Amino acid sequence: MMESVCVYCGSNPGFDPAFRAAAVSLGTEIGRRGMRLVYGGSHLGMMGVLADAVLASGGKVTGVMPALLVEKEAAHRGLTDLRTVHSMHERKLLMADLAEGFVSLPGGYGTLDETFEIATWSQLGLHAKPVVLWNVSGFYDPLFTFLDGIVSAGLLRPQHRALVRRASSLEEVFARLAEPVEAGGGKWLPGDLR
């Protein structure tokens, strides 16, 4: 059973109350399962809601933040473990190393950046950990359509497209996390798309 999960999500709460509710239910379930949350360490938006829910249900939370953001007092002060790093790149690497799987809730540029970087590392065979997008309120529907379009355009292999898994409910998030990852990476060569 997985012991730690990294969650990427908005540093804003968003307008749809379902986003906040999803962050609460995911955090509560992570704590209930006795897992550790690894995340960006902020108290802002869905990130703060998520961390609070994990802590409230008895789970452990590791936040990973660049020193600059800690100084700006964006850090969540109640965390079990706050790691300070030097850069956003170092932070993404440490978050990836500390977690056994990745879940993305709705978010903006930061969330998309983190999701696609971790998917790219999987494509390249740098890790074999599951990557799951929780499609709260259909938020990621246009993104899934776009990813399928990338496959149709011959720029993404279907087996690599499958590395980004879709979940529509909390139960599905944990079901997708539990499925083994095809060793899809490592064999990719530019131009070798068919």
| 139 contributes a contact to ligand AMP by CB under 6 A | no
Closest CA to 173 of 2, 45, 42: 2
Closer to ligand AMP at the Cβ: 79 or 156?
Answer: 79
30 binds ligand AMP (CB under 6 A): no
The runs of H, that is alpha helices, within 33-87 are: 45-56, 67-71
- Smallest separation, CB 125 to ligand AMP (Å): 24
- Could you say which of 42, 62, 122, 135 contacts ligand AMP (CB under 6 A)? 42
Give the residue, chosen from 114, 133, 157, 167, that forms a contact with ligand AMP under the rule CB under 6 A: 114
Could you give the C-alpha distances from 166 to 33, 93, 103, 124, 185, in angstroms and in order? 21, 23, 10, 20, 19
Q: Is 52 in the site for ligand AMP (CB under 6 A)?
A: no
Q: Does 111 bind ligand AMP (CB under 6 A)?
A: yes
Look up residue 186 and give its DSSP letter: S
The Cα–Cα gap between 13 and 18 comes to: 10
**132 binds ligand AMP, rule: CB under 6 A:** no
